[in-house]
Amino acid sequence: MSSSFFLKTKENPKFAKKGKNTAGTKRKGDVDPTGKGKLRAKKSSSKYNEEISSDSETESATAPKKRQSTEQIEYEETPQEKKLRLAKLYLEQLKEEEENKAEEASFETDLIAGRLQEEVLEQRGKLQRLIAKDLIPPDPSEIRMFRGHKLPITCLVITPDDKYIFSAAKDCSIIKWDVESGKKIHTIPGGRKGTEDRHVGHTAHILCMAISSDGKYLATGDMNNLIMIWEAESCKHLYKFTGHKGAVSGLSFRKGTHDLYSASHDRSIKVWNVDENAYVETLFGHQDSITGLDSLSRERCVTAGGRDGTVRVWKIAEESQLVFHGHEGSIDCIQLINEEHMVTGADDGSVCLWSVNKKKPLSTVKRAHGCHGDAGIEQPHWVSSVAALQNSDTIASGSHNSEVNVWKCGQNYRGLQPLFSVPVSGFVNSLKFSSSGQFLVAGVGQEHRLGRWWRLKEAKNGIYVIPLKRKPSDPEETKSAE
């Protein structure tokens, strides 16, 4: 047989595995007495050495049959086995990468879990971030003052991104400030009485303002019973809401929506839809002028009823209200801490903490800002404004005793402890914490926002930006935490 046929049998494993003798071929391992066959096989293998695969190289004439089949099985790899091998290799690489990132991944997982837990607690109104213990009094030189209004500041709001402040005053003007530079970004001038038809803006004292949680709309209310809606970005006038029969004294947007709640000296609360430029409904219940209003994400709002001595929680969807009693004087200001707790201030000088589940205050601090007057006929300083850092244990109160007091709430909001006071001269008519908790803004004037009972000539009408400084972290604690 020719050498080409001999090579074909060697290249093809099918033939190589069969141990049969065919015509003109020798079984591997047979000895040729003449030696010619062996010589011919050697020549053929050397001639085709570079072209023949490694399968045929293992099939040398001297290799045992058992060893040859073992080597052949070890080498051969099916497509499925190749996929499996590559998959294992890929998994090993992933494992190595994941081990390197294990610490970081664990930290991120903890963060996500913590965030979800916080959101659940926030919705239930039980979230209380313990921030107060780390706060320290600011240096007086670090407190900045912005001046631009001619008459006392009555109200202010901070944009959700903490970049801008809107303030309003008895001069009927609205000013947009840049927090970082302290410069005026935009001014909406006030108009004179009798120019309502041609003036775009307010022509009476502005008592309250609110900004939507997405920073799109700004709402302002005045003593002419009007509510005006502005585009916060450009300060462009959009709508005018009429319907109240008394001065508009409280405004708040429901968090996450463009539903607006308004309170008035006409003792009513109205609900508006700003997107639709529409009135929704009116709620009644207070027996005297409403002096303040606030809301968060639930479909409800809270109000301070002035001389009727009540705080009320209005459940809009259920068309019901909860009534709370506690102060001895006129309740002039109110602020929600979270969905379940709130803080109020009154002209009897007291600051109260409330839970929506209890009719009486959880905690009351009487004469929170001290007293004034001659001995024997002393009168407490009125609490004219309160603010709360949302979902935390930190609140602030303002009066006309030249100080803003910062307080720490006790466990489960039972108890109030004074942290420190910040020197501010004048009537503190409005207080707001920034969303980040990095600063507190006070709107100050020579007169109380609701009247002219006193006038402090030494005071200046302006906005104070008070930084909230934290204690430096202990390096040893940080190291041990790591």
Count of all residues that appear for the chain in the document: 482
User: What value, to the nearest 5°, has the Cα angle with vertex 189 and ends 453 and 233?
Assistant: 115
110-114, 180-184, 279-283, 393-397, range with the lowest pLDDT: 110-114
- pLDDT per residue over 91-121, tens digit each? 888 888 877 777 665 666 666 666 666 666 6
Distance CA 189, CA 191 (A): 7
3-state secondary structure of 40: helix
Please provide the average confidence, as pLDDT, over all residues in the chain.
81
Place of tokens 């001619």: 150
Distance CA 27, CA 13 (A): 14
3-state secondary structure of 76: coil
Please name the amino acid found at residue 234.
Answer: S
Distance CA 22, CA 25 (A): 6
- pLDDT per residue over 274-286, tens digit each? 999 999 999 999 9
Across the range 231-257, mean pLDDT stands at 94
* pLDDT score of 480: 34
* pLDDT score of 82: 83
Which one, of 372, 430, 426, lies nearest residue 402 by Cα?
426
3-state secondary structure of 253: strand
Does pLDDT of 160 surpass 70?
yes
122-126, 212-216, 268-272, 347-351, range with the lowest pLDDT: 122-126
Across the range 175-199, mean pLDDT stands at 90
Across the range 127-145, mean pLDDT stands at 87
DSSP states of 140-188 = GGG-EEE---SS-EEEEEE-TTSSEEEEEETTS-EEEEETTT--EEEEE
- 293: left (phi > 0), else alpha (psi -120 to 50), else beta? beta
Distance CA 308, CA 289 (A): 8
Across the range 335-342, mean pLDDT stands at 93
DSSP states of 83-148 = HHHHHHHHHHHHHHHHHHHHHHHHHHHHHHHHHHHHHHHHHHT---B--GGGEEPPPGGG-EEE--
207-216, 421-430, 468-477, range with the lowest pLDDT: 468-477
User: What value, to the nearest 5°, has the Cα angle with vertex 436 and ends 106 and 107?
Assistant: 5
Select the more confidently predicted residue: 130 or 72.
130
3-state secondary structure of 47: helix
* pLDDT score of 222: 94
- pLDDT per residue over 346-383, tens digit each? 999 999 999 999 999 999 999 999 888 777 788 899 99
